[in-house]
C-alpha cells in the first residue's frame, strides 16, 4: 500500500526459558490496513502482540514503528478481557489516558467520554456503570473506546470477538470497520473468528511454528500449501463458511 | 468385584443381564478381560453398552500412568534446594521493588505535578483513618492485659508500683508499634496484595503499561507512601490507647489512682523511649508495603494463586516486621539507648 510499513518486524525471537515461541519472525503491517493474525492456540499470537506493545521482552531481532514517537505511545490496545480499570466507571476509564496526557476541564472531559461512548455504540445511560456491571459485549466496547481515547494511529486488538454471541460479534466487526473508515488507523488484530477474517481484514497472516507461514489477502492465504494453514482454512468449520474449496 | 479371583480361568464374560453400565464399570470389565493370559471375550452386551465397551477397549493402551515415588530423602533435599532458591529470588524481587519505588519517588521529586495526590490521600484514608478504631481498641486491650498481668504477679513481691514502668517502657518502645505494624500487615498489606493481584489477573496492569504509564508510580507508590505516613500516626495513637488501658486497669484492678499513675509514668519513661519506638514505624510500613506489592505483582492467572500470594504477603511482612524490630533492638542496645 504505502512505502513505510506501520510495523516492521525482522528476525524477531521471543522465548521463555528453553522454549522458543517466535523463531526469527518477519512481518510488515502496512499503514492503514486491517491485518488479521491467525494461529494455533498457544502458538504465539498473543505473545507476538504483547511483544509488540512492549509487555514481553524480545530475545533478538528488531521492531520498528512508522509512528515512533515512543514517549507518547500512539497506540491503543484492546485486551481480550477488556482490562478496564475496575475502580473507575466506564467514562472515567475512557478519560484516564486523556487525564494523564493533558489538562482538560471536567466539562470537556465528560463531553469527550460521552462522544467516545456514542462512537462505540453505547449511550449515556450505560455511562456511570462500573466494569463489573457491564456485559461482555459492553465491556469490549468500553475497552475499545478507551483504546481509541488518544486517537491512536495503531490499534491492537486481542481476540476482539471472543466470548461474544454471533450477533454481538458481527456488530463489533462492523463497528471496527466503520471506525477504521472514519479514524483511519492501522489495525493489528489477533483473532480466531473466521467470520471476522472474512468480513473486515484486508490481509491475513497465519502464524505457525513461530513464523509467518502465509500472508496476504484471504484468497491467497487460502491457496497456501503450508499444512497448518491447510488444516485451519479447509477444516470442517471453515468449509461451512464457504472458505475452503 | 472380585477381579483377582481365578484370573487365568476367565474365557468369556456374559453381560446379557447387565441393566446399567458406566465408564468405570466398563473399564473394570475391560481390565478383567485383559488380565488373563489370553483376552477374555465380552459377550452379550448390546446397544449403547456395546459401543461403550468398544470405546473402552482402545483406552489406557499406553501402559498405566506410573506413579513415581522418589527417595523421600532426595525429595526433602529437593524441597530444601527449591526453598533456598525461592528465598534468593524473593530477596531479589524485594530489592527490585525497593529500587522501582525509589526511582518513582525520584521521578516525582523531579516533576512534582506528576505526584498522585488524590490516590495517595484516598489510600491514606483507607489504611490510616479507617484503621484508627480497630487499632486503638486492640492496643487498649493489650495495654490493659499487660497491666493486669503485671499487677497480678508483682503483687507477690509487693512491687505493684513497678507495673507503671513496665507498661510505659514496653508499650512505648516495643509493643505499641509492633502490634500496630502486625495489624496493619494483616489489614492493609493483605488488601494491597489482593488488589494488585486482581489487577494483574484482569490485565489492568498490562493496560497501564501499554498506555506508557509506570504501574509502580501509578499504583504502588501512593499505597506505600500512604502506609509510611499512616503507620507512625497509628502507632502513636495505639501507644496512647495502650497507656490509657494500662492506667485504667492500674486504677480499677490495682487501686492506683490516675494521678499517681501519671506521676510515676512521668518518672519512668522519657521521650527517648517514645522516639526509639516510633522511629521504627516508617521502616516497618515500607517493608509491609513493598512485600505486599511484590506478592501482588507475582499473582498468576488463577484464583488459588491470588490466595497464596495474599497469605504469603501477610506471613512474610509480619516475619520481616519482627526481624526488623529485633535488628533495631540490637542497634539501639549497641548505641546505648
pLDDT tens digits, B226-248:
999 999 999 999 999 999 999 99
Q: Is A231 inside a domain boundary?
A: yes
Position B84 scores a pLDDT of 93
Q: Is A169 inside a domain boundary?
A: yes
Give me the mean pLDDT over the A102-113 stretch: 84
Give me the mean pLDDT over the A84-100 stretch: 86
Coil vs helix vs strand at B6: coil
A130 and A63 share one domain = no
Position A2 scores a pLDDT of 47
Average pLDDT, chain B: 89
Nine-digit cell string for B93: 524481587
Give me the mean pLDDT over the B277-284 stretch: 94
* Domain assignment of residue A65, given as a range: 1-74+154-245
- Mutation target for B interface from A52, A83, A159: give the one with most B CBs within 10 A: A83
Q: How much of chain A exceeds pLDDT 90, in percent?
A: 0
Per-residue pLDDT tens over the stretch B25-39:
888 888 888 877 778
A68 and A104 share one domain = no
Q: Is A194 inside a domain boundary?
A: yes
Measured between beta carbons, the chain A residues lying within 8 angstroms of B211 are 73, 96-97, 100
A137 and A194 share one domain = no
A20 and A59 share one domain = yes
Per-residue pLDDT tens over the stretch B6-30:
555 777 888 888 888 888 988 888 8
User: CATH no. for residue A31?
Assistant: 3.40.50.300
A219 and A240 share one domain = yes
Q: Is A187 inside a domain boundary?
A: yes
Q: Is A65 inside a domain boundary?
A: yes
Per-residue pLDDT tens over the stretch B54-96:
888 888 877 655 666 778 899 999 999 999 998 999 999 999 9
Measured between beta carbons, the chain A residues lying within 8 angstroms of B207 are 77, 79, 83-85
Position B2 scores a pLDDT of 47
A93 and A210 share one domain = no
Instruction: Of A24-28, A56-60, B45-49, B333-337, give the lowest mean pLDDT range.
Output: B45-49
Measured between beta carbons, the chain A residues lying within 8 angstroms of B204 are 83-86
- Give strand ranges (E) for A91-232: 154-158, 186-190, 203-208, 211-216
pLDDT exceeds cutoff 50 at B1: no
Nine-digit cell string for A150: 488518544
Where does a domain end: A151, A170, A188?
A: A151
Q: Classify burial at B79, counting beta carbons within 10 Å of its beta carbon; exposed 0-12, middle 13-18, buried 19 or more.
A: exposed
Across the interface, whether the CB atoms of A80 and B203 are under 8 A apart is answered yes
Q: Is A160 inside a domain boundary?
A: yes
- State in Å, rounded, how far the first CA of chain B is from the last one: 77
Coil vs helix vs strand at B329: helix
For chain A, the domain total comes to: 2
- Kindly report the backbone phi and psi dihedral angles of residue A17, in degrees, each rounded to the nearest multiple of 5, phi listed first: 60, -125
pLDDT exceeds cutoff 70 at A69: no
Coil vs helix vs strand at B159: coil
pLDDT exceeds cutoff 60 at B4: no
Cα A218 from Cα A197, distance rounded (Å):
8
- DSSP single-letter state for residue B114: G
- Specify the higher pLDDT residue, A126 or A50: A50
Q: Classify burial at A2, counting beta carbons within 10 Å of its beta carbon; exposed 0-12, middle 13-18, buried 19 or more.
A: exposed
Where does a domain end: A106, A123, A151?
A: A151
A118 and A172 share one domain = no
A68 and A183 share one domain = yes
Per-residue pLDDT tens over the stretch B141-196:
999 999 999 999 999 988 888 999 999 999 999 999 999 999 999 999 999 999 99
Across the interface, whether the CB atoms of B210 and A96 are under 8 A apart is answered no
Across the interface, whether the CB atoms of B211 and A73 are under 8 A apart is answered yes
Nine-digit cell string for A54: 512492549
- A57 Cα to chain B: minimum distance (Å): 13
Where does a domain end: A96, A122, A151?
A: A151
pLDDT exceeds cutoff 80 at B284: yes
A10 and A105 share one domain = no
Q: Is A82 inside a domain boundary?
A: no
The yes/no answer to whether this complex scores an ipTM above 0.85 is no
Query: Is residue A54 within 8 Å of residue A28, measured between CB atoms?
Result: no
A92 and A68 share one domain = no
Query: Is residue A130 within 8 Å of residue A89, measured between CB atoms?
Result: yes
Per-residue pLDDT tens over the stretch A140-180:
888 888 888 888 888 898 888 887 888 888 888 888 888 88
The ranges assigned to domains in chain B are 7-57, 90-334
Measured between CA atoms, the residue of chain A closest to residue B210 is: A53
Measured between CA atoms, the residue of chain A closest to residue B213 is: A100
A3 and A119 share one domain = no
Average pLDDT, chain A: 82
Per-residue pLDDT tens over the stretch B105-149:
999 999 888 888 989 999 999 999 999 999 999 999 999 999 999
Query: Is residue B135 within 8 Å of residue B235, measured between CB atoms?
Result: no
A167 and A147 share one domain = no
Q: Is A53 inside a domain boundary?
A: yes
Grid coordinates 486488538 are at which residue? Answer: A157
Amino acid at each position: 500500500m504505502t512505502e513505510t510499513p506501520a510495523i516492521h518486524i525482522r528476525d524477531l525471537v521471543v522465548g521463555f526459558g528453553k522454549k522458543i515461541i517466535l523463531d526469527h519472525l518477519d512481518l510488515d503491517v502496512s499503514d492503514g490496513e486491517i491485518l488479521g493474525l491467525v494461529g494455533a492456540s498457544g502458538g504465539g499470537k498473543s505473545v507476538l502482540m504483547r511483544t509488540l506493545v512492549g509487555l514481553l521482552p524480545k530475545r533478538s531481532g528488531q521492531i520498528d514503528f512508522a509512528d515512533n514517537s515512543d514517549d507518547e505511545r500512539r497506540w491503543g490496545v484492546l485486551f481480550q478481557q477488556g482490562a478496564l480499570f475496575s475502580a473507575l466507571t466506564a467514562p472515567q476509564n475512557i478519560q484516564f489516558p486523556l487525564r494523564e496526557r493533558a489538562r482538560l476541564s471536567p466539562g470537556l472531559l465528560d463531553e469527550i467520554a460521552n462522544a467516545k461512548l456514542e462512537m462505540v455504540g453505547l449511550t449515556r445511560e450505560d455511562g456511570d456503570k462500573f466494569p463489573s456491571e457491564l456485559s461482555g459485549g459492553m465491556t469490549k466496547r468500553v475497552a475499545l473506546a478507551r483504546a481509541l481515547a488518544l486517537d491512536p494511529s495503531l490499534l491492537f486488538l486481542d481476540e476482539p470477538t471472543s466470548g461474544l454471541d454471533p450477533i454481538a460479534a458481527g456488530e463489533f466487526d462492523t463497528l471496527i470497520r466503520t471506525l477504521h473508515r472514519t479514524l483511519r488507523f492501522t489495525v493489528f488484530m489477533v483473532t480466531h473468528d473466521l467470520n471476522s477474517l472474512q468480513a473486515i481484514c484486508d490481509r491475513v497472516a497465519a502464524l505457525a511454528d513461530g513464523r509467518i507461514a502465509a500472508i496476504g489477502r484471504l484468497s491467497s492465504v487460502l491457496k497456501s500449501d503450508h499444512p497448518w494453514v491447510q488444516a485451519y482454512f479447509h477444516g470442517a468449520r471453515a468449509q461451512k463458511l464457504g472458505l475452503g474449496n | 468385584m472380585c477381579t483377582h479371583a481365578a484370573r487365568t480361568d476367565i474365557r468369556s464374560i456374559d453381560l446379557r443381564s447387565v441393566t446399567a453400565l458406566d465408564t468405570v464399570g466398563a473399564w473394570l470389565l475391560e481390565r478383567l478381560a485383559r488380565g488373563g493370559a489370553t483376552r477374555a471375550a465380552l459377550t452379550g452386551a448390546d446397544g449403547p453398552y456395546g459401543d461403550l465397551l468398544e470405546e473402552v477397549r482402545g483406552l489406557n493402551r499406553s501402559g498405566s500412568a506410573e506413579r513415581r515415588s522418589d527417595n523421600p530423602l532426595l525429595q526433602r533435599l529437593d524441597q530444601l534446594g527449591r526453598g533456598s532458591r525461592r528465598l534468593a529470588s524473593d530477596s531479589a524481587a524485594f530489592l527490585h521493588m525497593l529500587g522501582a519505588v525509589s526511582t518513582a519517588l525520584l521521578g516525582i521529586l523531579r516533576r512534582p505535578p506528576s505526584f498522585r495526590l488524590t490516590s495517595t490521600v484516598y489510600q491514606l484514608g483507607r489504611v490510616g483513618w479507617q484503621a484508627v478504631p480497630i487499632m486503638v481498641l486492640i492496643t487498649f486491650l493489650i495495654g490493659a492485659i499487660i497491666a493486669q498481668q503485671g499487677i497480678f504477679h508483682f503483687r507477690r513481691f509487693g512491687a505493684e508500683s513497678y507495673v507503671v514502668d513496665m507498661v510505659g517502657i514496653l508499650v512505648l518502645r516495643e509493643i505499641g508499634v509492633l502490634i500496630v505494624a502486625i495489624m496493619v500487615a494483616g489489614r492493609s498489606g493483605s488488601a494491597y496484595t489482593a488488589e494488585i493481584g486482581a489487577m494483574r489477573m484482569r490485565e489492568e496492569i498490562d493496560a497501564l503499561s501499554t498506555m506508557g504509564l509506570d504501574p509502580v508510580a501509578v499504583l504502588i507508590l501512593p499505597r506505600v507512601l500512604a502506609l509510611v505516613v499512616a503507620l507512625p500516626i497509628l502507632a502513636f495513637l495505639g501507644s496512647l490507647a495502650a497507656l490509657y488501658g494500662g492506667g485504667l486497669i492500674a486504677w480499677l484492678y490495682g487501686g492506683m489512682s490516675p494521678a499517681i499513675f501519671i506521676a510515676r509514668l512521668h518518672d519512668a519513661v522519657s521521650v527517648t523511649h517514645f522516639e526509639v519506638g516510633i522511629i521504627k514505624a516508617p521502616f516497618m510500613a515500607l517493608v509491609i508495603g513493598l512485600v505486599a506489592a511484590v506478592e501482588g505483582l507475582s499473582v498468576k492467572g488463577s484464583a488459588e494463586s491470588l490466595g497464596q500470594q495474599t497469605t504469603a504477603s501477610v506471613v512474610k511482612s509480619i516475619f520481616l516486621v519482627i526481624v526488623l524490630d529485633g535488628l533495631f533492638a540490637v542497634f539501639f542496645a549497641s548505641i546505648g539507648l
